[in-house]
Amino acid sequence: MDEELSLLKEVKPVAAPPFLWTRIEASVQHLRQEQAPAAVLWAATIGLSLNFLLTFAALWQNQPGRSTGDLTPVFYHSERLYND
Amino acid sequence: MRLEAIYEQYKDRVYNLALHYVRQPEDAAEITQDVFVKVHQHLPRFRGASGIGTWIYRITIRQCLDVLKARNRRKRRGWVVSLFQTDGQPMAIPDFQHPGVQAEHREAIHRIFHAIDQLPEKQRTALILSKLEQLGLVEIAAVLQVTPKAAESLLQRAKTNLKKHLSQNEGIG
């Protein structure tokens, strides 16, 4: 058994084929090209969501009666305070 | 570290480890390519908890086992297809083509590899790393993410099972 296993020492290391790096570079390049449109898509989605959120927030803030409703009594009270 | 530098340092180790698993230069080349593409993809998230060499070994082993599983699935499908084929052409099963094995040892080493193939995954990996990659117990343990004691036990079981498989194959042959 040990003799048979020692036969595995006869398996000599070999060099990797020289063309491999070119293939790896091409694959990596391909991956980058695939990732670029995805990044643009993400950026566009985030931009649009932010735009929608800000517009909605601004509209909500400027609803008629929302801002003035809270402020009117204050003006009223202060007017009364100084005029009386 | 740049991918090219990593590739230059580890290309032969990855290619040879893949060859020990699949014994096919084309498949080993494809595995090597896939391993370094994976290294490129995951390198930004590599935190260095283990050495980069250990990490690359792990990726290679996973890739090799995936290729072997796909090969076995193909073989099984081929067997089913052959039941319904009338031309009697057997499905092409990859031959033993390890370029690191000299002609005079080819048959004997092929027999050992055939027995190694019958071992469970972890035992097979422990044996390949020990007997073909000449790694020590601590390094094998790091690759397999087990304790050195567990690695030693795995190796022992691998040898016992290999002996069993070799004697069975001898009986058949």
**CB atoms near residue B55 (< 10 Å):** 19
Give per-residue burial for B148-165: e unless 16+ CB within 10 Å, then b. eebbbebbebbbebbeeb
**CB contacts, 8 Å: B159 with chain A:** 1, 5
Q: How far apart are CA A17 and CA B39, in angstroms?
A: 19
Residue with tokens 């990490």: B55
Residues B129 and B164 sit within 8 Å (Cβ to Cβ) = no
pLDDT at residue B91, as a whole number: 47
pLDDT at residue B118, as a whole number: 93
**CB contacts, 8 Å: B11 with chain A:** 16, 20-21
**CB atoms near residue B166 (< 10 Å):** 19
CB contact under 8 A, B11 and A16: yes
Which residue from B16, B105, B163 is facing A7, i.e. has the nearest CB?
Answer: B105
Q: How far apart are CA B74 and CA B85, in angstroms?
A: 16
pLDDT at residue B97, as a whole number: 82
- What kind and span of H or E run contains B66? helix B52-84
Residue from A6, A9, A20, A22 whose CB has the most chain B CBs within 10 Å, to mutate: A20
Mean pLDDT, to the nearest integer, of B146-172?
Answer: 90
Residue-wise pLDDT for A41-60, tens only, equals 888 899 999 998 999 888 88
Q: Which residue has the higher pLDDT, B90 or B140?
A: B140
Residue-wise pLDDT for B54-70, tens only, equals 999 999 999 999 999 99
pLDDT at residue B77, as a whole number: 75
Give the pLDDT band (50/70/90) at residue A82: low
- Residue B106: alpha-carbon gap to chain centroid: 18
Residues B22 and B16 sit within 8 Å (Cβ to Cβ) = no
Residue-wise pLDDT for A4-25, tens only, equals 888 898 899 999 999 999 999 9
**CB contacts, 8 Å: B29 with chain A:** 16-17, 20
Q: Tell me the C-alpha to C-alpha distance, in Å, between residue B8 and each of B4, B5, B13, B36, B110.
A: 6, 5, 10, 11, 30
The DSSP 8-state label assigned to residue B132 in this structure reads I
pLDDT at residue B16, as a whole number: 96
Q: Is the pLDDT of residue A75 over 60?
A: no
How many CA atoms within 13 Å lie on the side-chain side of A68? 4
Task: State which residue of chain B sits closest to A12, comparing Cα positions.
Answer: B100
CB contact under 8 A, A24 and B37: yes
- What kind and span of H or E run contains B33? helix B25-42
CB contact under 8 A, A11 and B40: no
Residue from B6, B8, B30, B32 whose CB has the most chain A CBs within 10 Å, to mutate: B32
Q: Is the pLDDT of residue B93 over 50?
A: no
Q: Is the dihedral of CA A15, A16, A22, A24 positive or negative?
A: negative
> What residue type is B3 in one-letter code?
L
In this prediction the ipTM stands at 0.75
Residue from B104, B116, B131 whose CB has the most chain A CBs within 10 Å, to mutate: B131
CB–CB contacts below 8 A, A to B: 76
Q: Cβ contacts of residue B101 below 8 Å, gap of 6+?
A: A10, A11, A12, B109, B110
Supply the mean pLDDT for chain B.
Answer: 88
For B110, the token pair is 């092929």
Residues B41 and B148 sit within 8 Å (Cβ to Cβ) = no
